[in-house]
């Protein structure tokens, strides 16, 4: 991923051919932070007829001289209702408009508002660093100039908090970029074997220990869930384990990696099936978190588990009616081969729990039911530990990656009990995301501090025209924010 170069500036020497800033409704433009000729252009821009600083309203004026600079003013609406999400949308609008105009270097002046102060610094910088993200490996190169340099003027000038945030934002942005790249890679390339190779590349670069289990090792360990789901594919499954870091407290991360999901014998409808390359996004998110956490050198010991399969229908596929034994010995009656994610997570979670982590987080595009519940506006969070859930929700509020806590009521455990086995892999139609989470709870052993994030609604997004625009890397930012907060780093 190519990141634009982001630099902090004091306002004395604003660079580029465009300076963008915001103005609140019924407020005077903030000319005091600009040089004289820029301030004059700002006043001319705001003297335009019908300018009221309404949200999304824009006005501009150009300075004189041999090197004219455009001063672009964006309406921010009422200051009282201006929050993090409005700030993020404004930053995106500025960068998008500058990119569309072919500008190479701009300055962004942040509003003097509490929402742009310390705790928002990291997310603002991430917005800028990710602004140039494109997944274009399989397209002819766009020869149009791209935005290369963004100068940022914080509310308090050379704010040391922004300096530290910029140092942290770069590896986090690289982690988000990795998660998006992996998620967007097509299934004819991104197989379980290929995904394990990408994990190996991260491990080698970051000095992590790595294990890659193939079919023989999986069978020897009794990991029947992964083997069952992967049995229908000509490409064998893998289970990757990464470990690095020091300290007594272990954070374990598990990510669902179904590189393509046809549904197996319980075949999905053909409409939109191409989106099923995104069924690996849980694993992609976890690998992005891993890379960033290692780069930042967080003072924790980490373990990562990536179950990787392709769910295909053929003569070797697992069937509805089969009974599968998972790593912790529990048996599962198969009612639907399209409920495959929970089967591979069962083995990975059981292994993770066996190694006694302090905290266990799992990410998966697990259920369409979570999308029905929350739309595409947030991810479903399940945890029996209210303190952990609250901390993750706080991080989600700071980053804008929304989480909503859902129930783990005992009725959902009852729903997942099997007729001829300990469990079944599909509950009733109602509360499907909740019963899926309850199923996973059978494989975390005695780990109390665990959370399941169903990111099916947020792992990839569509454009306004309804076309899929790509993987989001959802979960990388909020998890790193949570880790930085818990380690006192930011």
Q: Which of 104, 134, 170, 268 is catalytic?
A: 268
For the cut 60, the answer to whether the pLDDT of residue 193 exceeds it is: yes
Provide CB contacts within 8 A for 111, sequence distance 6+: 21, 22, 24, 30, 76, 82, 87, 155
pLDDT at 1 over 70: no
Mean pLDDT of 45-49: 92
Per the prediction, the chain carries an average pLDDT of 93
Q: What is the CATH number of domain 5-154?
A: 3.40.220.10
Query: What pLDDT is recorded for position 132?
Result: 83
pLDDT value, residue 85: 85
> Which pLDDT score is estimated for 32?
86
Q: Where are the domains positioned within the chain?
A: 5-154, 172-486
Spell out the SS3 assignment of 37-97.
HHHHHHHHHHCCCCCCCCCCCEEEEECCCCCCCEEEEEECCCHHHCCHHHHHHHHHHHHHH
* Mean pLDDT value of segment 435-459: 98
Cβ atoms within 10 Å of 200's Cβ, excluding its own = 15
The CB-based long-range contact list for 195-202 (8 Å cut-off, 24+ gap) reads: 195/238, 195/240, 195/257, 195/259, 195/280, 195/283, 195/306, 195/308, 196/238, 196/240, 196/306, 196/308, 198/287, 199/240, 199/242, 199/287, 199/306, 202/178, 202/242, 202/287, 202/290, 202/291, 202/294
Residue 28: which pLDDT band, with cuts at 50, 70 and 90? confident
In total, the chain counts a number of residues equal to: 490
Distance between CA atoms of 7 and 167, rounded to whole angstroms? 11
Q: Which residues touch 271 (CB under 8 Å, ≥6 apart)?
A: none
Q: What residue has token string 């500008």?
A: 103
- Confirm whether 429 is a catalytic residue: no
Per the annotation, the verdict on 139 as an active-site residue is no
pLDDT at residue 213 above 90? yes
What pLDDT digit, counting tens, does each position of 253-263 carry? 999 999 999 99
- DSSP 8-state secondary structure symbol assigned to residue 441: G
| pLDDT given for residue 161 in this prediction | 87
Tell me the two tokens of residue 56.
């999304």
Q: Could you report the per-residue pLDDT of 274-298, keeping only the tens digit for each? A: 999 999 999 999 999 999 999 999 9
- State CA 379 to chain mean position distance: 10
pTM (2 d.p.):
0.95
CB atoms within 10 A of CB 72: 24
Domains 5-154 and 172-486 share a fold: no
pLDDT at 439: 98
Which among 462, 453, 385, 481 is positioned nearest to 176, based on CA atoms?
481
What digits encode the pLDDT tens for the residues 330-384? 999 999 999 999 999 999 999 999 999 999 999 999 999 999 999 999 999 999 9
Of the pLDDT bands very low, low, confident and very high (cuts 50, 70, 90), residue 433 is very high
**Would you report the helix, strand and coil content of the chain in percent, each value rounded to 5?**
40, 20, 40
In the three-class reduction of DSSP (H, G, I as helix; E, B as strand; rest coil), residue 454 is classed as: strand
Contact 461, 469 (CB under 8 A): yes
pLDDT in tens, 116-169: 877 789 999 999 999 889 898 998 776 556 789 999 999 876 678 899 999 999
CA distance 150 to 145: 14
Tell me how far apart the alpha carbons of residues 144 and 163 are, in angstroms, rounded to a whole number: 31
Q: What is the pLDDT of residue 468?
A: 59
Residue 2's pLDDT is what? 73
Residue reference for tokens 């209702």: 81
Tokens 């890397």 sit on residue: 473
| Paired strand residues for 359 | 251
Please state, in angstroms and rounded to a whole number, the distance separating the CA atoms of residues 87 and 84: 5
H-run or E-run covering 15: none
Q: What are the tens digits of pLDDT across the range 52-100?
A: 999 989 999 999 888 899 999 999 999 999 998 899 899 999 999 999 8
Share of the chain above pLDDT 70, in %: 96
* 3-class DSSP assignment, residue 360: strand
For the domain bounded by 172-486, which CATH number is listed? 3.40.630.10
The catalytic residue among 33, 277, 342, 398 is 342
Question: Could you tell me the pLDDT band of residue 464, with boundaries at 50, 70 and 90?
Answer: low
Residue 308 carries which DSSP code? E
């Amino acid at each position: 991923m190519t990141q634009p170069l982001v630099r902090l500036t004091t306002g004395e020497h604003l660079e580029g051919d465009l300076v963008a800033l915001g103005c609140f409704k019924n407020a005077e433009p903030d000319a005091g932070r600009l040089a004289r000729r820029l301030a004059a252009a700002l006043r001319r821009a705001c003297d335009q007829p019908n300018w009221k600083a309404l949200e999304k309203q824009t006005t501009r004026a150009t300075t004189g001289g041999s090197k004219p600079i455009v001063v672009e003013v964006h309406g921010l609406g009422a200051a009282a209702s201006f929050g993090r999400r409005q700030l993020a949308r404004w930053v995106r609008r500025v960068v998008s408009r500058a990119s569309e105009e072919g500008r190479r270097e701009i300055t962004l002046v942040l509003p003097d508002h509490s929402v742009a102060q310390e705790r928002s610094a990291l997310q603002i910088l991430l917005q800028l660093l990710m602004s140039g993200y494109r997944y274009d490996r399989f397209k002819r190169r766009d020869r149009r100039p791209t935005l290369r340099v963004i100068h940022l003027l914080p509310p308090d000038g050379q704010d040391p908090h922004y300096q530290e945030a910029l140092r942290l934002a770069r590896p986090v942005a690289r982690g988000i970029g990795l998660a998006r790249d992996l998620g967007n890679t097509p299934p004819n390339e991104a197989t379980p074997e290929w995904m394990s190779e990408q994990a190996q590349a991260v491990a080698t670069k970051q000095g992590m220990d790595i294990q890659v289990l193939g079919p023989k090792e999986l069978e020897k360990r009794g990991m029947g869930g992964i083997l069952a789901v992967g049995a229908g594919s000509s490409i064998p499954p893998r289970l990757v384990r990464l470990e690095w870091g020091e300290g007594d407290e272990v954070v374990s991360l598990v990510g669902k990696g179904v590189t393509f999901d046809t549904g197996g014998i319980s075949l999905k409808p053909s409409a939109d099936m191409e989106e099923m390359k995104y069924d690996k996004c849980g694993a992609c998110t976890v690998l992005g978190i891993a890379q960033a956490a290692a780069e930042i050198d967080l003072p924790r010991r980490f373990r990562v588990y990536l179950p990787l399969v392709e769910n295909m229908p053929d003569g070797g596929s697992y069937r509805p009616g089969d009974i599968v034994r998972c790593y912790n010995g529990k048996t599962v009656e198969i009612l639907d081969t399209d409920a495959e994610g929970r089967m591979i997570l069962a083995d990975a979670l059981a292994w993770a729990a066996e190694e006694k982590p302090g905290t266990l987080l799992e990410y998966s595009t697990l259920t369409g039911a979570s999308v029905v519940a929350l739309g595409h506006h947030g991810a479903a969070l399940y945890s029996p530990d209210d303190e952990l859930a609250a901390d993750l929700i706080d991080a989600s509020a700071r980053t804008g990656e929304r989480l909503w806590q859902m129930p783990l009521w005992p009725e959902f455990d009852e729903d997942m009990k099997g007729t001829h086995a300990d469990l079944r892999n599909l509950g009733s139609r109602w509360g499907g995301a909740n019963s899926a989470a309850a199923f996973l709870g059978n494989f975390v052993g005695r780990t109390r501090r665990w959370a399941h994030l169903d990111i099916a609604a947020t792992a990839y997004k569509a454009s306004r025209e309804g076309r899929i625009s790509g993987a989001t890397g959802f979960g990388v930012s909020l998890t790193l924010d949570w880790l930085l907060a818990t380690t006192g780093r930011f």
